Structure 1
Amino acid sequence: MLTIVHIVGFKPDERAWMESAFGRSVASVVFVDDDEALLASVPSGPGHCLIASADVDGAATLRLVRELRKRGVTLPVIVLGPHTAFRTAIDIARLEATDFLERPVSVRQLRAAVHRACMDSR
Structure 2
Amino acid sequence: MSEQQSAAPDQYIHIVDDDEALRDSLVWLLESSGHRVRAYESAEAFLADFNLAMTGCLVLDVRMPGMSGLELFEELRRRHCSLPVIFITGHGDVPMAVSAVKKGAVDFIEKPFSERDMLDLIAECLAAEQASRGRRQLEAETVRRLTQLTQREREVLDLIIAGKLNKQIADVLGISIKTVEVHRARVMEKMEANSLAELVQNVLAADAGHGR
TM-score after normalising by structure 1: 0.85
Counterpart for residue 6 of structure 1: 14
Give the counterpart letter for 2:16 in structure 1.
V
Unaligned stretches of 5+ residues in structure 2: 1-7, 131-212
- Deviating beyond 6 angstroms after TM superposition, the runs of 4 or more aligned structure 1 residues are none
Residues 110 and 44 of structure 1: CA distance in aligned 2, closer, same or farther (over 3 Å): farther
Identity %: 26
1:1-122 to structure 2, matched below 5 A, reads 1-2=8-9, 3-42=11-50, 44=52, 47-56=55-64, 60-122=68-130
Give the counterpart letter for 1:107 in structure 2.
E
CA contact (8 A) 2:57 2:122 kept: yes
Structure having the larger proportion of residues in strand: 1
Aligned residue pairs total 121
* Alpha-carbon separation, structure 1, partners of 2:71 and 2:63: 14
Residues 25 and 45 of structure 1: CA distance in aligned 2, closer, same or farther (over 3 Å): farther
Write the deviation string for residues 24-76 of structure 1: whole angstroms up to 9, x where unpaired.
3233211123212212222555751111112456x821111011011111111
CA contact (8 A) 2:20 2:41 kept: no
* Alpha-carbon separation, structure 1, partners of 2:29 and 2:79: 31
Q: Which has the higher contact order (CA 8 A, sep 6+)?
A: 1
CA contact (8 A) 1:51 1:80 kept: yes
SS at match of 2:76: helix
Moved more, 38-47 or 81-90: 38-47
* Alpha-carbon separation, structure 2, partners of 1:46 and 1:67: 15
Counterpart for residue 160 of structure 2: none
CA contact (8 A) 1:43 1:75 kept: no
Counterpart for residue 134 of structure 2: none
* Alpha-carbon separation, structure 1, partners of 2:54 and 2:120: 17
* Alpha-carbon separation, structure 2, partners of 1:45 and 1:52: 19
SS at match of 2:92: coil
TM-score after normalising by structure 2: 0.51
CA contact (8 A) 1:4 1:29 kept: yes
Q: State which structure, 1 or 2, has the greater radius of gyration over its C-alpha atoms.
A: 2
Give the counterpart letter for 1:109 in structure 2.
D
